[in-house]
Amino acid sequence: MLLWRYFALFTILIIAVVSLVCFGVLGSAYSSQARSRITTIGGGLSLFINGKSSDFTGMVGNEMNRYALTEGIDVFLSSADGRALIYTIDPSENWEGIYGEMLSVVDGWTEGRAVVYSSDSLLNYASCVTFNDEQCYLLVQYPMSIVEQSLRSTQIYVLVIAAVAIVVAFVISYVLARRISAPIRSISDTAMRMAKGDYSVQFASAEFEEIARLSESLNYAKDEIKKSDDFQKELLANVSHDLRTPLTMIKAYASMIQEISGDDPQKRQKHLQVIIDESDRLTGLVNDILNASKVSAGLSELNKKVFNLTEFLYGIMNKFDYLQETAGYKFFVDIDADLYTLADEEKIYQVIYNLISNAVNYTGEDKCVYVSLKDCPEQRRIKFSVRDTGKGIPDEEKEHIWDRYYRSKDAHARPVKGTGLGLNIVKIILRAHNFDFGVNSKPGEGSVFYVDFPEVSSLPEQ
């Protein structure tokens, strides 16, 4: 568990830095504390002694002893010529050395001056006082070993605390790392199972918000992949079914022409027509499927531009002219002039073409289709609508007709062999554009499909 090691390393580093700083700071804090303590004691004693006569020798000795006992220090009062007058410890053995060292610092001083200096393992305070009307020196010696001892015990405390902190930090990092990495590991295991095609998996949520969000997004991604996977499977099944029917027909009629009707021009003509119709249906089917996948794949890149919707609609209507001539359809158009919109032209072509094709397919016996494009200047909208006179769409079907592969079970005037993809393509494109669209229909009275396009003034300046 790499995460755990990082956590632990990080805590050890912090503790090490804190301990090092403590050690450095503690050393100097203790020595400055010792200096100020010895200055206070020395200053107090100097004041006490200063100006006193030899009658007070006992009292001075007592005061010096009091400090010596409570503070662990040694105090000496010496005359200017080097006689130890009063002391807390008999200096006879090395008095010369002590006195000599002090004298090298304080020689020639006058009353009231004081100094703190270090020597060997001692911190010394020396001052010049007047005792029994003669100039004397007061020497206070503070053994540094006291300071070092307390410094050492504090350092041991710091070390013990640091060691305990490191152990605690290890435990906490281990627990924390486990709690963070366990859900991540479970997510990665789940992802592996999903990669093998098991979409029933569920990414578990976790207590940490970021991981919980990650697993939420992964669940969403999984659902989307599942949908697309289902769609592909469904598409394959539907497509192979839909393709087989016309292919069977084409083969059957071609065989018939070969074997039976080859010499009978009338029959042959009829059979050839079936082959042509079925081939057209095949082409339509393949186009729809291609469009559906193209639309799903390319929706992120809408290639919007301003164009003349009026001309555009006339262009599409021209494509339906042949139905007027060959199949007796009647198109009634009511199109306002020079209306401009902003949209992806190619995709809007599919929308309008699909809606008009549906009207053609599902209109009533009279074969009438009404197409209109109306300007609504107050809303800055252009309303496109296409109306047929067919059976209409029952209310309960209205929301489903936009679904992929939805096909009504109702019999229409002409049985239409569609794919159920047309309106789905329309929906996907219009949603991507954020355009209003819908259908108004009453059973028996036909249907009106409409789309609201935004109106723009004209082509932008080139």
For ligand ADP, the binding residue among 125, 142, 362, 453 (CB under 6 A) is 362
Give 35 or 427: the residue with its C-beta nearer to ligand ADP: 427
Query: Binding to ligand ADP by residue 183, rule CB under 6 A?
Result: no
Q: Are 250 and 279 in contact (CB under 8 A)?
A: yes
Q: Which of residues 313-352 bind ligand ADP (CB under 6 A)?
A: none
Binding span for ligand ADP by CB under 6 A among 82-90, 217-225, 299-307, 388-396: 388-396
CB of 259 to ligand ADP, least distance (A): 34
CB of 400 to ligand ADP, least distance (A): 8
CB of 319 to ligand ADP, least distance (A): 17
Q: Residue 155 in 3-state DSSP?
A: helix
For ligand ADP, the binding residue among 41, 73, 122, 359 (CB under 6 A) is 359
Give 271 or 404: the residue with its C-beta nearer to ligand ADP: 404
Instruction: Give the nearest residue (CB) to ligand ADP.
Output: 418
Q: Which of residues 247-276 bind ligand ADP (CB under 6 A)?
A: none
- Scored b (16 or more CB within 10 A) or e, 350-375 reads bbbbbbbbbbbbbbbeebbbbbbbeb
CB of 455 to ligand ADP, least distance (A): 25
Binding span for ligand ADP by CB under 6 A among 38-46, 229-237, 359-367, 372-380: 359-367
CB of 360 to ligand ADP, least distance (A): 9
CB of 393 to ligand ADP, least distance (A): 5
Q: Which of residues 73-92 bind ligand ADP (CB under 6 A)?
A: none
Q: Are 81 and 90 in contact (CB under 8 A)?
A: no
Quick note: the x/- pattern for ligand ADP over 402-441, rule CB under 6 A, is ----xxx-------x-xxxxxxx-----------------
Helix (H) / strand (E) element for 348: namely helix 345-362
Interatomic CA distance for residues 332 and 239, integer angstroms: 34
For ligand ADP, the binding residue among 74, 388, 452, 455 (CB under 6 A) is 388
Burial (CB < 10 A; 0-12, 13-18, 19+), residue 327, is exposed
In the 3-class helix/strand/coil scheme, how is 102-137 assigned residue by residue?
HHHHHCCCCCCCEEEEEECCEEEEEEEEEECCEEEE
Interatomic CA distance for residues 254 and 262, integer angstroms: 10
CB of 268 to ligand ADP, least distance (A): 31
Question: C-alpha angle 298/304/308, rounded to 5°?
Answer: 130
Query: Binding to ligand ADP by residue 358, rule CB under 6 A?
Result: yes
What would the two tokens of residue 384 be? 């496109």
CB of 180 to ligand ADP, least distance (A): 49
- Which amino acid, 436? D
Q: Are 136 and 79 in contact (CB under 8 A)?
A: yes
For ligand ADP, the binding residue among 390, 437, 451, 455 (CB under 6 A) is 390
CB of 4 to ligand ADP, least distance (A): 56
Give 141 or 361: the residue with its C-beta nearer to ligand ADP: 361
Tracing tokens 């609508």 back to the chain, one arrives at 385
From the centroid of its chain, how far is CA 42?
A: 67
Interatomic CA distance for residues 300 and 318, integer angstroms: 30
Give 359 or 429: the residue with its C-beta nearer to ligand ADP: 359
CB of 392 to ligand ADP, least distance (A): 6
Interatomic CA distance for residues 196 and 246, integer angstroms: 36
What would the two tokens of residue 127 be? 């001052």
Binding span for ligand ADP by CB under 6 A among 99-107, 112-120, 376-384, 387-395: 387-395
Interatomic CA distance for residues 187 and 330, integer angstroms: 61
Q: Are 71 and 133 in contact (CB under 8 A)?
A: no
Binding span for ligand ADP by CB under 6 A among 238-246, 316-324, 327-335, 385-393: 385-393
Interatomic CA distance for residues 377 and 455, integer angstroms: 8
Query: Binding to ligand ADP by residue 127, rule CB under 6 A?
Result: no
Binding span for ligand ADP by CB under 6 A among 29-37, 168-176, 290-298, 356-364: 356-364
Interatomic CA distance for residues 379 and 129, integer angstroms: 105
Give 78 or 447: the residue with its C-beta nearer to ligand ADP: 447
Give 374 or 398: the residue with its C-beta nearer to ligand ADP: 398
What would the two tokens of residue 62 be? 């007592």
Tracing tokens 């081939």 back to the chain, one arrives at 279
What would the two tokens of residue 276 be? 């042509």
- Looking at the DSSP bridge assignments, the partners of residue 441 are 447
Q: Are 386 and 332 in contact (CB under 8 A)?
A: no
Residue among 367, 372, 313, 388 nearest 343 (CA): 313
For ligand ADP, the binding residue among 352, 393, 428, 429 (CB under 6 A) is 393
Query: Binding to ligand ADP by residue 30, rule CB under 6 A?
Result: no
Query: Binding to ligand ADP by residue 242, rule CB under 6 A?
Result: no
Residues making contact with ligand ADP (CB under 6 A): 358-359, 361-362, 388, 390, 393, 401, 406-408, 416, 418-424, 447
